[in-house]
Each structure stands twice: as C-alpha cells, then as structure tokens.
Structure 1
C-alpha cells in the first residue's frame, strides 16, 4: 500500500496520508515519504499551492506507537521529524490542511504548520504528548503560543485535552469549520485562488509572516523592503497593473521582469 498519495490538479498538489487502518498514524516509512514529497513540491515550479490531508475520515493520529519504542536513538528519529517540519514551514507555496476526524500530537502540529486549516465539525484535536510521557514536537511548542496565546498553549500541552473544531477555531487554531459534504469544494475554491496568485509575492508574504512573529519592527521593515525588491523584479507586478488598467483578471506566472537579452548585456558589462 502506498502510504502517501499525491494528486496534482491545476497547480494544486494534494498530499494524502494513507494509513487509514491506523487513522493515518505516521510510521518511519510515512515520515520518509513526507520528506521526499515536500522536497519535490518545493522544487516543482508547477506547484502553486499544497493541500495536506488524510484518508479514511481521519487527518492523522500522530506518530505510530503501535510497534513500541524503536531501537534507534531518539536523536536520529527526531532528525527526520525536524526535517519534515522545516520543509513544510519553508515551502515557497501556500499550504492548506484539510482536517476530517482526528488530528493528534505530531499530526495536529503538522496541520498547524500549514498556512490555513479547514476542519469539519467532526474533527477532534489533542496535544496528546503528556499522556505519553513526552513533550510537543513537530513545532508545537513554537506554534501553539503564537496562535493561541501562552496560557491556552500551556493548557493544551500540559493537560492534553481533546477539543472540537469550534473550540479550535475560537482559539485561532482552525481557520474555517466547514460541513463535511462541502469541505472538498471549499478547499478547492481556496486553493484555486491561491494557485492563481502571484507565486513570488505569495512566497515572500508567507516567509515574512512566519519569520516576523519574533522580530523587532525594525527587522520586520527591513525584511519587507527586501521582499518588495524581489517582488518588483517579477513580471507579475507589471501584469497586475496592466490587468487593473484593462479591467481584467491578472494572469500571474512568477516570471522575471528583466528580459533575458537585457540581463545578459548587464552581466557582460560587469
């Protein structure tokens, strides 16, 4: 059985955790598959948005502990988790988690690592680590205080309570709650809008918002200035202005504004 399904449609890549018999708990094979898939998505310029979801009515029940403790040193096991988490956070495209059923432990933190989270009313969430004698991983200790505030983060992590989708939304841990029969169409609409956006500008915006949470205003402004310099070097800005003037929708490509011949002359002159 393929533990991670990949589907591409109109610039949107969907990664589906596919271990429904274990409520998509992540074992070593699935961690490796996720790492490879995220690396490929980051390199593939045809990918304009990414959806992370689970098969069989669950998102992810966390790391698979059904086989007991691994004989491998935890340092090596955690290295893979860290790499997957960073790849997800640093992707150059917007990401959406589509959560149906349970999202627990590392599974919930992978959902929180996406830019937007769409959940059905049946979804349930838990930072289950304390019940396993563990502390949060996959970025949970960084994400929870920033999204829900320090006190609520401590409540969720220390008590390992299970909360429903509406409470998760109230805590800023879910972006939208959408009925199960409507969730596919809703996510499809969101990702279509993201895929139609200016890819370089969206990548810059995603990076700025992720990084500026713990920066000073001066550092944030410097980062914004660098990002805008990158954005103005794309053809998308020119296209946006032309579309506005022509009262039409813009068609963004992420292309460079400087023609190849001009760029070559500039290089020859230096």
Structure 2
C-alpha cells in the first residue's frame, strides 16, 4: 500500500509507525485507519520486525477524528440519521482488535495532544510513554458521543471506574504528570528525550525473547476477564509453550554463565 497519511519504516528490528497529518494535529481519517491497519499487519508479518513503535509527526500525537472527514464518511440509518457506530465497526474496531492481538510488543510515544480516538489508540499499546508536555483528552462528550476505539474498555482497567468516569463525562485535559500518577502510562520523560527513550525501549523489546513476550501479552490480556483458577491454567499452558523454545535454554544458560542473553532474530 502507498501510505499517504502515515509513515512507516524499520529501524533495528523496530517498525516505526507515525501519524503523518501534522498540519491538522494528525487528525484521523478513514484512509489513515486503513493505512494503520495495513502497517500493523505488515509489521506482524515481517520476521525482521520484533517490536513496533507508534508516534506522531509534528507537535501532536493524534487529535482524534477529523470531524469534517468523519462526517463525510459517516453512514446514515434507515431513518436518515447519522450512524457513527457504523464507522467504528468498519474502521476502528478491526484496527483495535488487530493491535491487541498482535504477537509483537507495541510501544506508543505520545508526543503531544492525544485526544478522542487518538488517545485510546495510544493507550492500546502494551507500553505507553509520553512527553512531559503531552496530555490526554477524552473529548467525545464535548460533541455528544461516548468514548470509542476501546476507551470504555481500557480506561477503567488502567485508572479505575471513578477516574475513567470522570475522564469520559467531564471531557477535560489530563496532563502527563497526572496520567503517570494514575497509572495510565508507563513513564513520562522530557519532550526532547521522548523519541530516543521510546526507541531504546522498543529496541530492548526487539532484542528480547519473542516467544515469551508474545505469551506475556496473551496471559495479561486474558487475565482481564478470567478467574484466578482460569489464569493459573493459562499460565500453565503458556509456560509450557515457552519451554519449547530455544530462548528459554539461552536465557537459563546466560544466567548461569553470568552473561547477557542473546536471542535469535528473524
């Protein structure tokens, strides 16, 4: 696919995906979502890619849906009323499910405003870093909508029901320091250090044991809806699978030999 609204490149085992509409703060269009879906699929299929970094070009991470473009592509129901839910079904939901199921680690580097669906795309990463000047905004209520792109699912799991309710109902900015204090993000760094820090983190994951990282994602996300007994069974199964990979043997050998483990690539 010829990308027009995102950038894609591979750097030392890391697929770097960037929202690329900086003049409109990387506002989302249907084409951008299609390109993102393709890019994540491309990264998943590329054996040279072992981790993914999502960030934005310019001063913003992603300001949410481009309302003009979104209204133009929003279908109407049988009574002629706008049906924004159909756009979720057609564009957003398949992308969110792909990101969550993708076996490779995803890091997001939130470099400015992360609003609406843009905020929730950033929070769907496995690890989210943000610049000190960045902020999150669940802007949906301000135009008479509910959080989407997985927002109603991810927010209470990260910050608890009361804080999630406040973010969704009040539609106010949440600055980076409060996002960190609430457990919404992994870390906050100075603006100029965001991309180097995020790349270093993604490269660390890219050089890690891929089979174990994939199964860590599976176990933790499966635990959201599982009982303790079910989680223990999941752990038993996935741990057994990890033991079938040479990465386990290499990790143990490196520990015993007091050296750094070197995991296979590709």
**Superposition TM-score, scaled by structure 2 size:** 0.92
Deviation at 1:75, TM superposition (A): 5.0
Aligned twin of 1:267: none
Structure number with bigger Rg: 1
The yes-or-no answer on 1:248 pairing with 2:265 is no
Deviation at 1:43, TM superposition (A): 1.8
Deviation at 1:15, TM superposition (A): 0.3
Deviation at 1:71, TM superposition (A): 4.6
CA distance in 2, matches of 1:167, 1:18: 27
Partner SS state of residue 9, structure 2? strand
Aligned twin of 2:178: 167
**Superposition TM-score, scaled by structure 1 size:** 0.90
2:213 to 190, 202, 221: 202
1:232 to 235, 243, 253: 243
Any residues of structure 2 matched to 1:20-31 within 5 Å, and which? 20-31=22-33
CA distance in 2, matches of 1:143, 1:71: 25
CA distance in 2, matches of 1:26, 1:63: 4
CA offsets per residue over residues 246-266 of structure 1, 9 Å max, x none?
Answer: 3221111279xxxxxxxxxxx
Partner SS state of residue 66, structure 1? helix
Could you tell me which runs of 5 or more consecutive residues in structure 1 were left unpaired when the two chains were aligned. Answer: 256-270
Aligned residues: 255
Deviation at 1:164, TM superposition (A): 0.7
Name which structure has the greater RCO, CA cutoff 8 Å, separation 6+. Answer: 2
Any residues of structure 2 matched to 1:209-224 within 5 Å, and which? 209-224=220-235
Could you tell me which runs of 5 or more consecutive residues in structure 2 were left unpaired when the two chains were aligned. Answer: 77-83
Partner SS state of residue 60, structure 1? coil
CA, structure 1 residues 102+71, in 2 after alignment: closer, same or farther (shift >3 Å)? closer
C-alpha RMSD of matched pairs (Å): 1.5
Aligned twin of 2:79: none
The yes-or-no answer on 1:72 pairing with 2:75 is yes
Aligned twin of 2:80: none
The yes-or-no answer on 1:182 pairing with 2:184 is no
Partner SS state of residue 55, structure 2? strand
Maintained 8 Å contact 2:135/2:175 = yes
